[in-house]
Structures are given as structure tokens and as C-alpha cells.
């Protein structure tokens, strides 16, 4: 039956000479960089939008929408001249007002942009004229262009004034300045992109289609049957098959990702460190990892090859005796199947996003593991809007099972700073705040490294999360796609150099 | 997996070539005359087994040809690592200085000069490196400056003298890797690692010795043609032109794919007539995959040497057995990971270089110092950035 299905798919979706079809586990419900929380959205945004600056292939910062810039002598102000040859996809000119609008929308509390933290260092943005922007900074900035990589959106694309709403029609009719326009959101959950005729340079791959292929087991087969040209994340068990096929090339796409179980520390009993540590001792990350793929079990919020990983800190060992000692020390007893304290039982709900590959298998195994240790867990798998509303918005959960992916800065400030926009756990540690401030403010690489190694150790001990693992990660592309260089985080940054045979 | 290449769904070569350089090479010898393989390997079994699994440190103590081959592998690996260390210090030192945060009296400049000295030898041959040494030497504090003149100051001068005098791998690998010096404490702590260690390891493992002849000189090697035939000559006989000049990764990927085609054709051509024992060796020892990997790593190393890091990266990524891509295996050699690290470093992907170095650290603890230094550079290069993070 399955081979028949593949053949059918292959027949029904003939390869087009200039259409690159890539698979995502879940299509983005919206394309709007102000509200991009997932890697899927980040990749789509890369096709449609541009920043003032971008990475070149050597990962150095180079101008994109900016033409040139001047810094004030005290490094608290930057005046940026914008390119005058750029139009939005609807033909309207790109101006300084768009830059100001983007920054203000990112910073606006009521907008609740997911990008808030990326603009927090800017005190004010002012349009000097149509193509000149002046930025004032909270503190002196030596190389502000390194932080001006976020995407710019058009002021005229939204209902006037702030806040910007996530539900604004822009979400399904985005307007960018990037190499591709969004042509359509399709009924099969695919998204079609077309090369923008007004982009400043040739775009050899004329069309791109993002296809939602939620069953990871099919993705590699669709690639082999030429119903896709690219997989952004190869299912680990498909690696051997794909690397032995001469129609396909593998590219390391080692974003710095780690899986975790996060506690809601605003809720009892997760406000008690002993309970969090006890639960950490109840989980065997090695056992949970086995069915998912190959990778490293972690002891903190960095991957093992990171300069910030603290190799002196060992992962919590699976140790039910140690867990029991911690719980008993905190007044819990286990007379029956569950741990109890007065009328309270260790019984709660884990929420997880449906869109993450293999997450249901991990969650079910976690549930069994905790049950054996005297903890009852209900599972709730959420679609993306529900996830964003409950976890990002209302913080309505006991535990979350999810994954964070970082660019090469591996900046965990938003996750662990007491006021961080991604600090879902509600973790508060003055010492960690101090270390994160030091790491942000220092101009000494050694100091940043060691500050973050100390953050690793402190966060491990405080256990706002159970850190699980990082997975080996690859992308796979048809050999028909040539001159491919994949950005280590955003994937499509250099797509205008890709060619299709 | 004999032949994964055969199992491919991809386009099979239409007709095997009448003759292939491989017919005159060691792969053909092992396949057609497995008794020659058995005879050679049985003479020094443990060492050859170690060479096969790319455990060169285990084989390097052998006094036979397997030891020579293992030391040759170590020579290439340590040389690449030595160059990485120097390059990382060069960029780290210059970037750190530009930030204006090098403390007065910091050991940093001495370690930069030490790494540069290790890269080119005590007389700092090579114009760029000589200039670097000349520029930084005045910034070295007086005590450590005396060490460069041969004074046995502790610990810097003593270590330098020891590294310059070291004569054996065992001696050089005896130390438990640890920072040679530290300054500051807590989050202000800075560590400085022996800048000459990898250079000394490269020097010792690269000491000239006679190349074994015949099968012993070629078994498990990248050699595709007759004994002694350079790789590019064998490839040229296949009609595979190795791109030179431009650092065009697509041309290099295509050259690698052409090698795959030729290997697949040869396997089809040779296996039907080969004795069963020969076919078994070919399959069970993954000799074709191994040879392919070794040849691509050699091309990657040569590309690095000719300042074509994008090609080096293309070859090395294609050489890598991704199904076990974070281990040293018969297909994934230590040189592969060293070259991956170097190619990433030289193309600006410093953070990605750490992924490759991390694989080497368990087997080569002496890599820890270069791993830390490249890590410091990676941090420096992103010091002004604010990060981006996403779910899934």
C-alpha cells in the first residue's frame, strides 16, 4: 500500500524545474516576524523578509536594507542611511518609517511580540527623513549592527497604530522586501512562495513550496521519490538511507537545540527546589532518547560542543532513592502508588506542542517513567495556537515538554532571566540575573564564557527544567539543488545563490 | 554496506570501464588475493586492526609498517590541529586587542606568540606568521619574553623547553591536559593552554621514516591507483579532474560524486570474478566506503593547504559517514574531524568547528586546549550580538 501511495504522490506532484519543495513537520499558521516563535516560521520569514543587516557566508555582519551607518562618538547613537532602491512586495517604497514602526512594535508591551527581547537594547528609533533612521541605545554599543539582524515589516501593512495584533490580516498576506513573496496559503496546508520580480538581484530558484508533512516517516521517502527537493530536518533513522542515495546530499544543520521538561515554578509544588530535583532524579534521559535518535544527554542549557557548556556539571542521574530522600525531606510520603503531602498528590499535567517530531513518543515514555516513580501525569498535546495561548500567553501549565533552538550566540537570557520573555518557568535567581548581566555587558570573551558556565551550573542546581538532550541534526537536499550553503540557524539566508538543475 | 553504492536508487553507471586505476591498487589486491591481506595482517594483527578502525594512537607503538601508517595519520591530524590552534589564537588575540579588554600583564600575548611559533617553528618561517610574531612579541611581558630566549621560567619557559626537546609521542601524551596558566577567578577566570603541545605532537609524528612498500604501504589508505601513484594521477586516469584555483564548492562536490561513480563501477566490475573471501573482506571491512572517505579527506586536506576551505568543507562533509557522524570509526577518521574543524574555522563558521573538535576530545584529550581556544574565539566573534532562539 505504501509504495503505491508514494508512486501516487510522485505522479500527482510532478517536479517542476524551478520549484523547490521542502518539508516542514507543521506549516506555519501565520508568516509575521513580529510573532515568530518557531524555527518553521523563522525559515519562512527568511524567504520573505530582510533585516537592516544580515550574515554573509562567513557569518560576518553585512548591510542588507541598510546602506551605511555612522556612530556617535559616545557609541550611544547610530544614524543609518537606508537603501533607496528597495520596494515592498506591493510596490510601495521601503522607508525609515518602516524601521521605526518595526522597532516600536517589537518593544510594545501590548503587542507582546516574540521579538521583544531583541529590541530591548534600543532606547528610541526616529525617522530623520525617508531614508535615514536614528537609533539611540540604552547603553553604549560597540557594534550595534550585530544586533540589527531582526526582520523589518512594513508600517503600511498593518492597521494603523499600536498594538499590532497577531490576528492582523498581515498574517496571511505578508509583505516583505526579501527574495520571495508569499503567493498563497493553500488548502493542503502548503505555502507557495514566488521569486519577487522587484528583488535587487537574480533569484535562480523561481518558486518555493513549503509542504506540511506531519508524518516524519514519509518525509525521506517523498524526497527519494522526488516529490520534495529538501528536508530541513532528517529523521535520524533515515540518515543512513539518505546518505547512500546519490540523488541526495546531506548537510549538517546543527542548530543548537535541546529538549527539556520545564516546571511552572509559580505553581505548587514546583516552587520547591527539592520537588524539582526529585523529579529530575526520576527521569532517565538516556532511556527517553533511545527511540528518538542519537545525541547527547545534557546537564544544562547548552549543547555539549558549546563553549558555555560546563563539563564539570553532570546530568541528574536516574536515582529513585535520591528522589525519595529529597521528597521525604520536603515532607512528602509515599504510602500508596503516588507521593502525597497532606491532601496534595504528585499528580499533574504535561503539555507539549504537537508539531515537534517524536514528542508524543517521548511524552508517553516519560509518563510511564514517572508513574513507576510515584508520580501521575496526564498528557495534553497542543496545536500551535493553543500552545502559544497557554504557554506563551497565559502560562497555564504544570509542566511543558518542548525544545529550544538557538543561533550560534546560544543566548539563554530570555529563558532564564527573571523578566525574560521566554522564561515560561517563572524562574527567578538574582545570582543568575547577575551572571547574565555580566555576560551581556562584558567585552571580554573569557568573562562571558565563564559567566555562562556558572549560569549552567546554577541553573542545573536550581532545576527550573529537566534538561534532556541535543539531537544530531541534518538537512537533506536533492542533488538537483546546487551551490547550496545552509545557514546554521535560518537555513535559507543564502538561497539566492542556490540553483536548480 | 558493500555496497551502499550499489544499493543506491541513483543512476547506476551504464557500463563499467574496461580498466580502472583501482585494478592496480590495494583494493584489487585485497579483493582478488585475500591471502595477501591475511598474510600481512597476521604479522601484526592488533596494530592493523587498530589502523583499520582509525585508532592510530593504539597502532602508533607498533614497530612494523602498521605503526608507520598510524604515525602518518597522526602526522596529518596533529598538523591540521596545530594550524587550527595558531589560527584561533591569531584571530582571538587580534580581536581581543581590538576590544581593548586585554588586561595589562595578561599572559595572552605570550600564548599567541607561542602558538604562532608552534605553527612555523622557532624561527617563525612564513611571512604572515613572522609578521604576526614580530607584531606581538613586544607585548609579551618580560618574564615570558625571557622564555622565548630560552630561559627556563616557570611554568611558561619550562614547558616550552620541554616541548621543543620532546622526542616521543608517549612523552608528549603523558601529561593530563590542563590549562598551563590561569588568571582571575570565578566568572573573571581566564585559562591559557599549552601553545606548543600540538606542534610538538605534529613534529614527532611527522618524523621522516621509510614508507612501507607494497600492500603494507597502501592497505586502508586513500590510494586509488598503483602503489605510489599520487591521488590526482589516479583520478585523472578516471577522467575526474580535481578542481584547482577557485574555491568553488559545487565543482568539488561534483568531483566527489564522480569518484563515487567510478568506485561503484569498479565494484560492479570486480566483484563477480573475485573470490568469496575477497568479496567478504570488501564488504565486512567496508573497504570501499573507507577508501572513498580517505580519498575525500585527502582531497580536503590538500584543499586546505591550497587555501580553498569551502572545497575542503565540501569534500569533508561528503566523506563523513553521517549515520555515525560523531564517532571515530573505520570511515570517519580523526583527520576527517580535524579537517572539518579547520574548514569551518577558515570559512568563518567558528561555532561549527567546535562540533567537530568535540568528537576528537575523548580520544585525543590534548585537543581540549585547542577546543577551548576556538571556543574563546567563537565567543569573541559573537560578543556584540543578541541571540535568537525558537521552539522546535
**All cell numbers assigned to B76:** 596529518
**How large is the average pLDDT for residues B159-171?**
93
Q: Is the pLDDT of residue A9 over 50?
A: no
Are the Cβ atoms of B100 and A413 closer than 8 angstroms?
A: no
**How large is the average pLDDT for residues B330-335?**
98
Which among B15-19, B123-127, B219-223 has the top mean pLDDT?
B219-223
Determine phi and psi for A209, rounding to 5 degrees. -125, 125
pLDDT digits (tens, 9 = 90+) for A143-152: 999 999 999 9
Q: Smallest Cβ distance to B325: which of A244, A356, A472?
A: A472
Number of Cβ pairs < 8 A linking chain A and chain B: 193
Q: Is the pLDDT of residue B13 over 70?
A: no
Residues of B in contact with A485 (CB under 8 A): 249
Q: What is the largest CA-CA distance in chain A?
A: 73
**All cell numbers assigned to B125:** 618561517
Are the Cβ atoms of A307 and B190 closer than 8 angstroms?
A: no
Q: What is the pLDDT of residue B123?
A: 54
Burial class (CB in 10 A: 0-12, 13-18, 19+), B229: middle
ipTM surpasses 0.90:
yes
Measured N-to-C along each axis, helices B108-120 and B197-205 cross at an angle, to the nearest 10 degrees, of: 10
Q: What is the pLDDT of residue A31?
A: 94
Are the Cβ atoms of B354 and A307 closer than 8 angstroms?
A: yes
pLDDT digits (tens, 9 = 90+) for A158-201: 999 999 999 999 999 999 999 999 999 999 999 999 999 989 88
pLDDT band at B125 (very low <50, low <70, confident <90, very high): low
Q: How far apart are CA A17 and CA A14, in angstroms?
A: 10
Residues of A in contact with B255 (CB under 8 A): none
pLDDT digits (tens, 9 = 90+) for B362-388: 999 999 999 999 999 999 999 999 899
Q: What is the pLDDT of residue A401?
A: 97
- Share the mean pLDDT of chain A: 93
Task: Work out the minimum CA distance from B6 to partner chain A, whole angstroms.
Answer: 9
Task: Work out the minimum CA distance from B371 to partner chain A, whole angstroms.
Answer: 8
**All cell numbers assigned to A165:** 495584533
Are the Cβ atoms of A353 and B260 closer than 8 angstroms?
A: no
- Share the mean pLDDT of chain B: 91
What one-character DSSP code corresponds to residue A172? Answer: G
Question: What is the four-CA torsion angle of A154, A156, A162, A168, rounded to 10 degrees?
Answer: -90
pLDDT digits (tens, 9 = 90+) for B61-101: 999 999 999 999 999 999 999 999 999 999 999 999 999 88
Q: What is the pLDDT of residue B4?
A: 45
Nearest to A71 by CA among A151, A138, A128, A137: A137
Determine phi and psi for B82, rounding to 5 degrees. -60, -45
Q: Is the pLDDT of residue A294 over 90?
A: no
Domains and CATH numbers, chain A: 3-29+178-247+479-500 (3.40.190.10), 53-157 (3.90.76.10), 257-472 (3.10.105.10)
- Cis bond leading into A269, ω under 30°? yes
Q: Smallest Cβ distance to B376: which of A60, A256, A449?
A: A449
Q: How far apart are CA B93 and CA B106, in angstroms?
A: 11
Nearest to A157 by CA among A143, A168, A167: A168
Q: What is the pLDDT of residue B245?
A: 84
Q: Smallest Cβ distance to A307: which of B99, B318, B379?
A: B379
Q: How far apart are CA B298 and CA B60, in angstroms?
A: 20
SS3 content of chain A, % helix, strand, coil (to 5): 30, 25, 45
Helix (H) / strand (E) containing A370: helix A359-372
Q: Is the pLDDT of residue A4 over 50?
A: no
Q: Is the pLDDT of residue A137 over 70?
A: yes
Task: Work out the minimum CA distance from B246 to partner chain A, whole angstroms.
Answer: 14
Nearest to A89 by CA among A195, A161, A185, A164: A195
Q: How far apart are CA A370 and CA A375, in angstroms?
A: 5
Q: What is the pLDDT of residue B126?
A: 65
Are the Cβ atoms of A42 and B347 closer than 8 angstroms?
A: no
**How large is the average pLDDT for residues B268-287?**
93
Q: Which segments of A322-418 are extended strands (E)?
A: 340-341, 344-345, 347-353, 376-382, 399-406
**All cell numbers assigned to B199:** 606542534
State the best of A242, A408, A500 to mutate against chain B, taking most chain B CBs within 10 Å.
Answer: A408
Contact B291, B222 (CB under 8 A): yes
Q: Is the pLDDT of residue A80 over 50?
A: yes
Task: Work out the minimum CA distance from B292 to partner chain A, whole angstroms.
Answer: 13
Are the Cβ atoms of B8 and A246 closer than 8 angstroms?
A: yes
Q: Is the pLDDT of residue B145 over 50?
A: yes
pLDDT band at A6 (very low <50, low <70, confident <90, very high): very low
pLDDT digits (tens, 9 = 90+) for B38-47: 999 999 999 9
State the best of A45, A137, A307 to mutate against chain B, taking most chain B CBs within 10 Å.
Answer: A307
Q: How far apart are CA A299 and CA A378, in angstroms?
A: 25
Q: What is the pLDDT of residue B127?
A: 72
Are the Cβ atoms of B388 and A485 closer than 8 angstroms?
A: no
Q: Is the pLDDT of residue B12 over 50?
A: no
Q: Is the pLDDT of residue B358 over 90?
A: yes
What one-character DSSP code corresponds to residue A401? Answer: E
Q: Is the pLDDT of residue B7 over 60?
A: no
Helix (H) / strand (E) containing A77: strand A77-82
Are the Cβ atoms of A412 and B186 closer than 8 angstroms?
A: no
Question: What is the four-CA torsion angle of A295, A299, A303, A308, rounded to 10 degrees?
Answer: -160
**How large is the average pLDDT for residues A451-479?**
96
Residues of B in contact with A454 (CB under 8 A): 186-187
Task: Work out the minimum CA distance from A68 to partner chain B, whole angstroms.
Answer: 18
Residue positions counted in chain A: 501
Q: How far apart are CA A181 and CA A311, in angstroms?
A: 45
**How large is the average pLDDT for residues B101-128?**
83
Are the Cβ atoms of B391 and A143 closer than 8 angstroms?
A: no
Q: What is the 3-state secondary structure (H, E, C) of chain B?
A: CCCHHHHCCCCCCCCCCCCCHHHHCHHHHHHHCHHHHHHHHHCCHHHHHHHHCCCHHHHCCCCCHHHHHHHHHHHHHHHHHHHHHHHHHHHHHHHHHHHCCCCCCCCHHHHHHHHHHHHHCCCCCCHHHHHHHHHHHHHCCHHHHHHHCCCCCCCHHHHHHHHHHCCCHHHHHCCCCCCCEEECCHHHCEEECCCCHHHHHHHHHCCCCCCCCHHHHHCCCCCCCCCCCCHHHHHHHCCCCCCCCCCCHHHHHHHHHHHHHHHHHHHHHHHHHCCHHHHHHHHHCCHHHHHHHHHHHHHHHHHHHCCCHHHHHHHHHHHCCHHHCCCCCCCCCHHHHHHHHHHHHHCCCHHHHHHHHHHHCCCCHHHHHHHHHHHHHHHHHCCCCCCCEEEC
Residues of A in contact with B7 (CB under 8 A): 244
DSSP string, A177-228: SSSEEEEEE-TTS-EEEEE-TTSSS--SS-EEEEEE---HHHHHHHHHTTS-
Are the Cβ atoms of B386 and A409 closer than 8 angstroms?
A: yes
**Model pTM score:** 0.94
Percentage of residues in chain A having pLDDT higher than 90? 86
Amino acid at each position: 500500500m505504501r509504495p503505491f501511495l508514494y508512486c501516487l504522490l510522485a505522479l500527482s506532484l510532478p517536479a517542476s524545474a524551478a520549484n523547490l519543495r521542502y518539508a516542514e513537520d507543521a506549516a506555519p499558521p501565520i508568516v509575521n516576524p513580529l510573532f515568530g516563535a518557531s524555527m518553521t516560521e523563522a525559515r519562512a520569514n527568511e524567504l520573505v523578509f530582510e533585516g537592516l543587516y544580515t550574515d554573509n557566508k562567513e557569518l560576518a555582519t553585512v548591510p542588507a536594507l541598510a546602506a551605511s551607518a555612522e556612530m556617535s562618538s559616545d557609541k550611544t547613537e547610530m544614524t543609518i542611511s537606508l537603501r533607496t532602491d528597495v520596494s515592498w512586495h506591493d510596490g510601495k517604497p521601503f522607508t525609515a518609517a518602516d524601521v521605526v514602526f518595526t522597532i516600536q512594535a517589537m518593544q510594545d508591551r501590548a503587542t507582546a511580540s516574540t521579538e521583544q527581547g531583541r529590541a530591548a537594547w534600543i532606547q528610541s528609533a526616529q525617522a530623520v527623513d525617508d531614508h535615514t533612521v536614528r537609533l539611540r541605545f540604552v547603553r553604549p554599543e560597540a557594534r550595534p549592527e550585530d544586533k540589527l539582524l531582526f526582520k523589518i515589516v512594513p508600517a503600511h501593512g498593518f492597521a494603523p497604530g499600536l498594538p499590532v495584533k497577531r490576528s492582523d490580516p498581515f498574517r496571511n498576506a505578508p509583505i516583505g522586501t526579501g527574495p520571495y513573496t508569499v503567493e498563497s496559503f493553500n488548502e493542503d496546508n502548503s505555502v507557495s512562495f514566488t521569486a519577487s520580480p522587484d528583488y535587487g538581484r537574480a533569484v535562480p530558484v523561481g518558486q518555493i513550496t513549503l509542504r506540511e508533512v506531519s508524518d516524519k516517516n514519509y518525509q525521506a521517502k517523498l524526497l527519494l521519490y522526488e516529490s520534495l527537493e529538501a528536508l530541513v530536518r532528517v529523521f535520524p533513522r533515515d540518515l543512513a538511507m539518505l546518505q547512500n542515495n546519490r540523488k541526495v546530499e546531506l548537510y549538517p544543520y546543527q542548530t543548537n537545540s535541546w529538549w527539556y521538561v520545564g516546571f511552572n515554578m509559580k505553581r505548587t509544588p514546583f516552587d520547591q527546589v527539592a520537588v524539582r530535583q526529585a523529579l529530575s532524579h526520576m527521569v532517565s534521559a538516556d532511556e527517553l532518547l533511545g527511540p528518538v535518535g542519537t545525541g547527547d544527554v545534557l546537564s544544562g542549557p547548552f549543547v555539549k560542543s558549546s563553549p558555555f557548556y560546563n563539563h564539570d556539571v553532570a546530568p541528574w542521574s536516574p536515582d529513585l532513592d535520591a528522589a525519595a530522600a529529597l521528597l521525604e525531606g520536603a515532607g512528602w510520603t509515599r504510602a500508596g502508588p503516588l507521593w502525597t503531602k497532606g491532601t496534595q498528590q504528585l499528580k499533574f499535567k504535561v503539555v507539549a506542542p504537537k508539531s515537534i517530531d517524536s514528542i508524543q513518543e517521548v511524552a508517553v515514555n516519560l509518563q510511564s517513567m514517572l508513574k513507576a516513580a510515584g508520580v501521575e501525569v496526564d498528557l495534553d498535546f497542543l496545536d500551535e495556537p493553543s500552545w502559544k495561548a497557554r504557554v506563551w500567553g497565559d502560562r497555564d501549565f504544570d509542566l511543558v515538554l518542548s525544545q529550544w533552538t538557538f543561533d550560534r550566540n546560544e543566548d539563554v537570557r530570555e529563558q532564564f532571566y527573571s523578566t525574560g520573555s521566554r522564561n515560561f518557568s517563572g524562574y527567578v535567581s538574582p545570582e543568575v540575573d547577575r551572571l547574565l548581566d555580566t555576560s551581556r555587558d562584558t567585552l571580554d570573551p573569557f568573562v562571558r564564557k565563564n559567566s555562562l558556565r556558572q549560569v549552567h551550573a546554577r541553573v542545573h542546581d536550581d532545576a527550573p527544567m529537566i534538561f534532556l538532550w541535543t539531537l544530531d541534526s541534518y538537512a537533506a537536499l536533492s542533488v538537483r539543488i546546487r551551490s547550496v550553503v545552509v545557514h546554521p540557524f535560518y537555513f535559507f539566508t543564502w538561497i539566492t545563490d542556490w540553483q536548480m538543475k | 554496506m558493500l555496497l551502499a553504492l550499489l544499493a543506491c536508487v541513483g543512476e547506476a553507471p551504464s557500463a563499467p570501464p574496461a580498466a580502472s586505476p583501482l585494478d592496480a591498487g590495494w583494493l584489487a589486491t585485497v579483493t582478488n588475493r585475500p591471502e595477501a591481506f591475511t598474510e600481512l595482517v597476521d604479522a601484526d594483527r592488533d596494530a592493523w586492526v587498530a589502523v583499520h578502525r582509525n585508532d592510530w594512537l593504539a597502532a602508533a607503538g607498533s614497530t612494523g609498517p602498521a605503526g608507520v601508517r598510524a604515525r602518518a595519520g597522526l602526522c596529518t591530524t596533529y598538523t591540521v590541529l596545530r594550524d587550527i590552534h595558531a589560527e584561533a589564537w591569531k584571530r582571538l588575540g587580534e580581536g581581543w586587542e581590538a576590544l581593548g579588554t586585554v588586561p595589562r600583564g595578561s599572559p595572552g600575548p605570550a600564548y599567541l606568540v607561542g602558538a604562532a611559533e608552534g605553527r612555523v617553528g622557532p624561527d617563525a618561517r612564513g611571512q604572515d606568521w613572522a609578521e604576526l610574531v614580530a607584531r606581538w612579541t613586544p607585548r609579551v611581558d618580560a618574564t615570558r619574553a625571557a622564555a622565548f630566549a630560552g630561559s627556563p621560567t616557570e611554568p611558561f619557559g619550562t614547558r616550552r623547553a620541554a616541548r621543543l626537546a620532546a622526542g616521543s609521542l608517549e612523552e608528549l601524551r603523558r601529561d593530563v591536559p590542563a590549562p598551563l596558566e590561569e588568571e582571575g577567578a570565578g566568572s573573571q577566570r581566564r585559562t591559557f593552554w599549552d601553545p606548543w603541545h600540538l606542534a610538538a605532537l605534529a613534529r614527532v609524528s611527522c618524523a621522516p621514516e621509510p614508507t612501507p612498500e607494497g600492500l603494507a604501504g597502501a592497505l586502508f589508505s586513500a590510494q586509488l591507483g598503483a602503489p605510489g601513484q599520487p591521488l590526482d594521477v589516479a583520478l585523472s586516469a578516471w577522467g575526474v579532474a580535481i578542481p584547482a584555483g577557485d574555491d568553488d564548492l559545487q565543482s568539488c562536490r561534483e568531483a566527489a560524486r564522480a569518484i563515487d561513480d567510478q568506485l561503484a563501477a569498479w565494484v560492479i566490475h570486480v566483484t563477480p570474478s573475485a573470490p568469496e573471501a575477497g568479496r567478504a573482506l570488501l564488504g565486512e571491512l567496508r573497504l570501499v566506503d573507507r577508501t572513498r572517505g580517505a580519498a575525500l579527506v585527502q582531497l580536503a586536506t590538500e584543499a586546505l593547504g591550497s587555501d580553498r576551505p569551502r572545497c575542503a568543507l565540501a569534500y569533508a562533509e561528503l566523506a563523513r559517514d553521517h549515520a555515525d557522524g560523531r564517532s571515530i570509526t573505520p570511515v570517519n577518521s580523526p583527520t576527517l574531524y580535524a579537517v572539518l574543524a579547520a574548514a569551518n574555522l577558515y570559512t568563518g563558521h567558528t561555532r561549527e568547528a567546535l562540533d567537530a573538535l568535540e568528537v576528537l576530545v575523548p580520544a585525543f584529550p590534548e585537543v581540549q586546549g585547542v577546543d577551548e581556544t576556538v571556543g574563546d574565539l567563537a565567543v569573541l566573534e559573537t560578543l556584540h550580538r543578541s541571540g535568537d532562539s525558537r521552539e522546535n
